[in-house]
Chains A and B, each alone.
Chain A
Amino acid sequence: MKFLKFALVFAAGAFLARAAGPHRLAAQDLEPAQLLNPPSDSWPLYHGDYSGRRHSRLTQITRQNVANLSLAWAFQTDQPAEIKSSPLLVDGILYFTVPDNIWAVDARSGHLIWHFNHPTTIGEHIGHRGVAMYKGWLYFTTPDAHLISLNAKDGTVRWDKVLGDVRRGYWSTMAPLVVKNHVIAGVGGDLDNLPGFLRAFDPDTGAVQWEWDATTPAGTPNGTTGGMTWVTGTYDPVLNLIFWGTGNPTPVLNGASRPGDDRWTCSIVALNPDTGVLAWGFSVSPHDTHDWDAVETPVLVDADFHGRPTKMLMQSSRNGYFFVLDRTNGKSLLTAPFGPTNWALGIDKQGRPIPNPDKEPKPDGRFIAPDEGGMTNYRSPSFDPKTGLFIVDAHPSYSIYFTKPADGNYGWAGADYGLWGKGVIEAIDYQTGKIRWSHEVGAGGSGAGVLTTDAGLTFTGDSTGDILALATSDGRTLWHAQTGAPMQTSPITYLLDGRQYVLAGSGGVMFAWALPQGAQSADRAEAHASKK
């Protein structure tokens, strides 16, 4: 019996050693076709896959053993910016960012492979969300609104193209989306009256393939500017459509100069990835005057809706409403608030909230829920297929909004002040919009993204620096660990050499969590030693 056990361990070890060997030396090469069905030893897209569900099939970490989760490694970036990026994982190497910086890190050990550090002296340094990859090349946006292509092997720059004109007020923080041979990148730029846009670049040459403009040029009579495209979209290869959320209109708090719905700001749009041609658009916040970008992930789910198989798109939006659309045509299936809102008169026949004109900012102030940060923000929600729950880090909150003629009609054009808020992880039933469970994560708000797994686990964070593992079925806490700063990333997970890792950044540190190593740890050490 003892011999048998030994033999089994040995056999397993030999298998793992073989599996580990070739991966270590594999070239970083990511064919676009691999993106259609990413294996569990990778996280090759911002959202892990094209659906934006941030749901993993991995089940090594379970509800039963998650209490044993411990630190596999921590990577200290040793600089002041918070990590807000979602890492990419390709061939055992992680890539994550802060403005002007990329780190390539061994996903098994956390040791540094290379570091790209290119300080820009102009443009907004507000945050950075990650890189994209095509074959052996990375794509990285910069505070001065350039798109840079780098060699994934060593971080050397291949080309550097202008994405937006920093002199006019554009910057970029987002992780591009690779679809076939298109690198699709967007911009930020709320401080000026500028149209938002998406641009597709040739992955090899950097030549612009197409541009889609969210709004009209500044000065267009009764037109609006804005509609920034600062969070990565999703893609349906069957419909051949990309889905993208757009930001608020500008001027931001004063809507007088831009009457009407302000298309396509605060909207979800479906575009052809080969041409950039708009297939449909849906106004999430018609005529926004509260800075509620609708850039939150357009999550793609194929499932029954009220008994009918439906290709859906779901968004928990910054304006406080949860939307379910038919993504073949952009028609509304469900619109429901997921926290306190007081700015809409109701929902129109197209499923859009009807903005209350009296809740637009005024000289003597208007009391508004949610606040400007919104009911949720850029960190990703997750959809769990088994339970049908859409899980989001929500932010019930109140604020006061002001604008007066002296604030003008350029850029911010007013002032607003947050009064109070808290963080609540909410599990929304997509069929009804009802909140199945909620789990409070602290005063102010958490800001953490959400990841679910097939083992029935939900990973997220609280406002006081804990990473949390919750039961997806009812939201109870199964495990936590204090990290010293609130998580500002969306967690990811992957399996390497038979070990499942959960990765999340807090402050300037990236943490990798895994179950304590058993037999495989000795085997891995052996495999490593034998190569020397």
Chain B
Amino acid sequence: MKASSFVKSFLRVAFPIAAVLLFAGPLIQAPVREVFAAASVQASSSAQPGPQTAKTEPPPPSVAATARKGPELSPEAAAGAALFQQNCSFCHGRDAMGGETGPDLTRSKLVLADRDGSTISAVVREGRMNGDKRMPAFQLSDPQLASLVAFIRARVVAARAMHGGRSGVDVADLQTGNVQSGIDYFNGAGGCIKCHSPSGDLAGIANRYQGLQLEERMLYPRGAKSTVTVTLPSGNKITGTLAFLNEFTVALTDASGTYKSWPAGAVKFKLDSPVLAHVDLFSKYTDDDIHNLMAYLQTLR
């Protein structure tokens, strides 16, 4: 069989067919998609109440009564608060300052940079299912989106008013490490020096990332690329950036940007995934190692 006949396009979000394939090849573990299988939320397609059954309860209190203290909400923001409590608060917290799986929106660069609400609205409408993100899309109307934006902005204002009592993770919170111990770990036990250099790839890293963002990238740089070399039955080799891998399919993007995939059991492939060195460290870290390493990286300006 010609090698090219193995090449097929692989539509990942296709309506399923009962593909009866029998591959039991070893599964190479690789960070293809950092999908966190957390609970996802439901978008209520309508804010209109349905036919009410026998319910005689008063409406819920405004968010200001239950969340951390903030200024009074405008009617628009109050409407947004109700939507937020149904659809967003489980992950982002009732006060939008972070919760189970979702980030603190009052510190979000995207939120803070969005002047007219269009960026926030786009994220809500389109979701963020790419890469490591698992935020689903919500079908909301323009007025609903406007009210949601108004609520999130009100929460940004309320959070700013907290001054020294600011909750969440600040850059100042991440200064407990020792720089020299961090250098020793970098060059010694951590083995970071094998792949990284303070004068090379990490030069100025502390200018590019700060605080929590720097620490998260230090521990596991999401979206890091892996390279895969696929050997076809003909003996031809194709190398590219790993685009997809599970136990059934291996796919790469070649130098021309073309996506190519093969049944994983029908070809040989070799994965080069330097990011796995970060995973190997997980079982070895102490908290001091992390804080010291963080102290050192913050000197690389």
Identify the stretch in A86-94, A258-266, A344-352, A406-414 within 8 Å (CB) of chain B at 4 or more residues.
A406-414
Residue A281 CB within 8 A of the other chain: no
User: Which residues of B (107-143) have their CB < 8 Å from a CB of A?
Assistant: 132, 134, 136-139
Residue B195 CB within 8 A of the other chain: no
For B282, give the chain A residue with the smallest CB separation. Answer: A398
| B129 CB to nearest A CB, Å | 10
| B296 CB to nearest A CB, Å | 15
Residue B194 CB within 8 A of the other chain: no
How many Å lie between the Cα of A167 and that of B35 in the bound state? 33
In the complex, are the beta carbons of B57 and A363 less than 8 A apart? no
- Which residue of the partner chain, among A68, A125, A466, contacts B41 with CB atoms under 8 Å? A125
**In this complex, which of B60, B101, B169 has the most chain A Cβ atoms within 10 angstroms of its Cβ?**
B169
**A478 with B138, Cβ < 8 A, contacts A373-B101, A439-B27 known:** no
List A contacts of B167 (CB < 8 A): 404, 406-408, 415
In the complex, are the beta carbons of B138 and A162 less than 8 A apart? no
How many Å lie between the Cα of A120 and that of B44 in the bound state? 9
- Which residue of the partner chain, among A127, A148, A443, contacts B34 with CB atoms under 8 Å? A443
Identify the stretch in A3-11, A12-20, A417-425, A524-532 within 8 Å (CB) of chain B at 4 or more residues.
A417-425
Chain B 214-235 per-residue mask, 1 if CB under 8 angstroms from chain A, else 0:
0110011000000000000000
In the complex, are the beta carbons of A464 and B44 less than 8 A apart? no
**A478 with B22, Cβ < 8 A, contacts A125-B86, A446-B37 known:** yes
In the complex, are the beta carbons of B82 and A365 less than 8 A apart? no
How many Å lie between the Cα of A169 and that of B94 in the bound state? 10
| A271 CB to nearest B CB, Å | 26
**A406 with B162, Cβ < 8 A, contacts A67-B20, A80-B42, A482-B14 known:** yes
Residue B200 CB within 8 A of the other chain: no
**A477 with B247, Cβ < 8 A, contacts A160-B55, A364-B173, A411-B94 known:** yes
Residue A372 CB within 8 A of the other chain: yes
Residue B153 CB within 8 A of the other chain: no
| B285 CB to nearest A CB, Å | 6
In the complex, are the beta carbons of B173 and A404 less than 8 A apart? yes
In the complex, are the beta carbons of A440 and B29 less than 8 A apart? yes
| A214 CB to nearest B CB, Å | 19
List A contacts of B36 (CB < 8 A): 373, 418, 421, 444-445
List B contacts of A404 (CB < 8 A): 167, 173
Chain A 150-168 per-residue mask, 1 if CB under 8 angstroms from chain B, else 0:
0000000101101000110
Residue B4 CB within 8 A of the other chain: no
In the complex, are the beta carbons of A166 and B60 less than 8 A apart? yes
For A160, give the chain B residue with the smallest CB separation. Answer: B53
In the complex, are the beta carbons of A482 and B101 less than 8 A apart? no
Residue A307 CB within 8 A of the other chain: no
Residue B212 CB within 8 A of the other chain: yes
How many Å lie between the Cα of A442 and that of B245 in the bound state? 8
Residue B160 CB within 8 A of the other chain: no
In the complex, are the beta carbons of A373 and B38 less than 8 A apart? yes
For A161, give the chain B residue with the smallest CB separation. Answer: B54
List B contacts of A169 (CB < 8 A): 66
How many Å lie between the Cα of A74 and that of B16 in the bound state? 9
User: Which residues of A (58-114) have their CB < 8 Å from a CB of B?
Assistant: 67-71, 74, 79-82, 84, 98-100
List A contacts of B85 (CB < 8 A): 122-124
Q: Report the count of interface residues on B (CB-CB < 8 A).
A: 94
Residue B99 CB within 8 A of the other chain: yes
In the complex, are the beta carbons of A415 and B100 less than 8 A apart? no
Chain A 447-489 per-residue mask, 1 if CB under 8 angstroms from chain B, else 0:
1000000000000001111100000000011111111111010
In the complex, are the beta carbons of A422 and B50 less than 8 A apart? no
| A166 CB to nearest B CB, Å | 6
How many Å lie between the Cα of A478 and that of B21 in the bound state? 9
In the complex, are the beta carbons of B49 and A121 less than 8 A apart? yes
For B134, give the chain A residue with the smallest CB separation. Answer: A444
**A118 with B53, Cβ < 8 A, contacts A126-B90, A406-B167 known:** yes
- Which residue of the partner chain, among B27, B55, B59, B99, contacts A440 with CB atoms under 8 Å? B27
**A445 with B27, Cβ < 8 A, contacts A117-B50, A364-B176, A481-B19 known:** no
In the complex, are the beta carbons of B94 and A466 less than 8 A apart? no
List A contacts of B29 (CB < 8 A): 422, 440, 443
In the complex, are the beta carbons of B104 and A479 less than 8 A apart? no
List B contacts of A30 (CB < 8 A): none
| A142 CB to nearest B CB, Å | 10
**A67 with B22, Cβ < 8 A, contacts A125-B86, A126-B39, A364-B173 known:** yes
How many Å lie between the Cα of A358 and that of B48 in the bound state? 48
List B contacts of A373 (CB < 8 A): 36-38, 101
| A416 CB to nearest B CB, Å | 8
For B165, give the chain A residue with the smallest CB separation. Answer: A406
| A171 CB to nearest B CB, Å | 9
**A466 with B248, Cβ < 8 A, contacts A121-B49, A127-B42, A340-B283 known:** yes
Residue A496 CB within 8 A of the other chain: no
In the complex, are the beta carbons of B16 and A191 less than 8 A apart? no
25 A-B pairs, CB-CB below 8 angstroms?
A80-B45, A80-B138, A81-B43, A82-B42, A117-B50, A120-B86, A121-B48, A122-B86, A146-B55, A157-B53, A340-B283, A364-B291, A402-B168, A406-B162, A406-B167, A419-B220, A421-B36, A443-B33, A444-B36, A444-B132, A445-B37, A476-B24, A482-B12, A482-B14, A482-B19
Q: Which 3 residue pairs are nearest across A and B when measured between Cβ atoms?
A: A444-B35, A447-B37, A81-B42
Which residues of A line the B interface, CB within 8 A? 67-71, 74, 79-82, 84, 98-100, 117-127, 143, 146, 148, 157, 159-160, 162, 166-167, 169, 190-192, 291, 340, 358, 363-367, 369, 372-373, 377, 395, 398, 400, 402, 404, 406-408, 411-412, 415, 417-423, 439-447, 462-466, 476-486, 488, 506, 511, 513
What would 17 more interface pairs be, CB under 8 Å, given A364-B173, A412-B98, A447-B37? A80-B139, A119-B44, A121-B82, A126-B39, A364-B287, A364-B291, A365-B174, A402-B168, A406-B167, A408-B167, A440-B29, A442-B33, A443-B33, A445-B35, A465-B16, A481-B17, A484-B14
